[in-house]
Amino acid sequence: MDPVIIVGAGPVGLALSVALAQRGVPSVLLDDSVGKEEPRPARTVVLRPDVASMMERLGCTTLRDEGARWAGWRTMRRKQDVRVVALGDDVAPSPLHIPQHALARGLRDAVAAQPLINLVTESHVDSLEQDDDGVSVHTRGPEATWWRGSHLVGCDGARSTVRKLLGVRFPGRTAVERHAVATLRTELPWPDEALLHRLPPWRTGGEEITARPLPDDVWRLDWLLPARGELVTPDALIARVRDTLAGWSGGTASYELIDTGVHTLHHRLARRWRVGRAFLAGDAAHLLGAVGTQGLDEGLRDAENLAWKLAHVWHHGGSELLLDSYQAERRSCVAARLRAADQSLPILRGSSPLRTYLPGAARGHDTLLMDGHLGLGPLGAPPVYTHSPLAPEYAPGQTLVGTEAGAPVVDVRVTTPDGTSARLRDRLDGGQLLVVLVAPGTGVWDQRHWMSAGVMPRLAAAVTALPVRAELLVTESYPGASAHTVLLVRPDGHLVAAFTGVRPAELYAAADAARGGPPSSVRSDRTADIN
């Protein structure tokens, strides 16, 4: 088989290439840069807990040393605390805040460790052709050449060349929000807490300030600007820094200014995310980021969703439904996120009459913004593929558990048939389906006994007979699940269905639905040419 061609070596393209390599799929990663990340400390990203977990599984080691998890979230209005929420493993999980160049560097290190990835720098795509068997792209650079691949994924950003070559429209709104940004080293009264301060009582505070900590007493501060206001001069930005630190610290605060910038947010959504054997992901497919939503976060979810589907097709052949499900699932979720942000903006930013008349509106607005930043609610919660084309038909043996079908599973501790203990999401590395039996008490049994006891032999036989490869796991408990509940989990960690007991026929039907049905064509046997 030809490799998958990935255009664009930003975080999304890098993550996709590693995810494919972990599933045994070679890729050619075309990077139009020289292969080095320019350090921009003012350009940071916030990763929701599920996305940060995915980056760790891909081998991105910079998260640990250069990323920060918050001890809490503090919301202020004028001079008063409105809400303080503790974050941590035992309470609400914290997002991870990291400079984007550090994230990209960690992913590049993971790429370098994968022999199945051919990273080609200074290669700019200028032509694209498709046929029934694959995709060909031409690149210009020091050595202009043609590349041949089984599929193509455009991860080449908001000005995507791939999107333009495919003729896909990219409608939306320009400059939805603008922020003045400064990264500095200082001490604030709330160590390790992220802060949202609305209507600060000093002249240069504007309507909203966000402060998010990084390691070593470094903070990123964002001031919300008028959507179409004047340019922010260096002197004006320094005045904002000084007034803000003085307002928070009650006097003159010392600081070291590291980097500054102005961040303009756009809302756009590509009309199509799949054209034949070509796909769009990340900023090439969508732009969002207002009122706490996170664009890169969603782009990395694109990569996770697409990787296992391309890997299945590459190894086993696949149905058109499986490939179409990428657009059906991801585009609908991002569109819902964009709708929620666009509907919230008039109320949150003061252009709706409802803002004045709704009782308790201010507190509700603050909670909505907090949810967006923390990855909760309609602005930030992990996607749920409720209406996925891969969802199985209802069967009498299905049951409800604490996770909705189509939602990410809870990361409970599980045991493999050989007795190894692990977290559930750590078992997603192999790219196979997971079948999880809820069996209280197995933790104190010797593995030799419980593998041959009760429903385990029948369940093991049912797993072996599935139409796709699956791993059998056991857990002591799962939220909302009774004993002998069987969970079927997709390779990206989303729940397919839950069943009461061992039901081989229904489990088979659900696994068949999750792979999009039988392959619609025989895969090519062409040998990969990775140069």
pLDDT in tens, the chain (531 residues): 799 999 999 999 999 999 999 999 999 999 998 887 788 999 999 999 999 999 999 999 999 999 999 999 999 999 999 999 999 876 688 999 999 999 999 999 999 999 999 999 999 999 999 999 999 999 998 878 999 999 999 999 999 999 999 999 999 999 899 999 999 999 999 999 999 999 999 988 888 999 999 999 999 999 999 877 777 889 999 999 999 999 998 877 899 999 999 999 999 999 999 999 999 999 999 999 988 888 999 999 999 999 999 999 999 988 999 999 999 999 999 999 999 999 988 888 765 554 444 444 556 778 888 888 998 888 889 999 999 999 999 999 999 999 999 999 999 999 988 888 899 999 987 789 999 999 987 765 666 656 666 788 999 999 999 999 999 999 999 999 999 999 999 999 999 999 999 999 999 999 999 999 998 743 333 333 333
Q: Tokens standing for 472?
A: 């059998």
In the block, residue with structure tokens 């990203």: 45
Contact 100, 110 (CB under 8 A): no
CA 195 to chain centre: 23
Which neighbouring-strand residues pair with 261? 181
- Which CA distances in Å does 58 have to 99, 180, 214? 18, 33, 22
Q: Tokens standing for 271?
A: 């009309």
Q: What is the pLDDT of residue 448?
A: 60
Q: What is the pLDDT of residue 524?
A: 38
In the block, residue with structure tokens 């990291």: 98
Q: What is the pLDDT of residue 142?
A: 84
Q: What is the pLDDT of residue 98?
A: 97
Q: Tokens standing for 452?
A: 């041959």
Helices and strands: H and E segment counts in the chain:
15, 26
**Rounded CA gap, 389 and 329, in Å?**
8
User: In the 8-state DSSP scheme, what is residue 506?
Assistant: H
**What is the DSSP secondary-structure string of 445-491?**
S-HHHHTTSTTHHHHHHHHHTSSS-EEEEEES--TT--TTEEEEE-T
Q: What is the pLDDT of residue 201?
A: 93
Residues 99/238/252/82 CA torsion (nearest 10 deg): -60
**Rounded CA gap, 134 and 184, in Å?**
49
Residues 137/143/144/150 CA torsion (nearest 10 deg): -10
Strands across the sheet with 433-438, in order? 421-423, 413-415, 470-475, 433-438, 485-489, 495-500
**Rounded CA gap, 377 and 92, in Å?**
13
Contact 182, 245 (CB under 8 A): no
SS3 198: strand
User: In the 8-state DSSP scheme, what is residue 329?
Assistant: I
Comparing C-alpha atoms, which of 104, 72, 321, 309 is closest to residue 212? 72
Instruction: Determine how β-strand 96-99 pairs with β-strand 44-47.
Output: antiparallel
Which neighbouring-strand residues pair with 180? 223, 262
CA 201 to chain centre: 36
**What is the DSSP secondary-structure string of 231-258?**
---HHHHHHHHHHHHHHHHTS----EEE
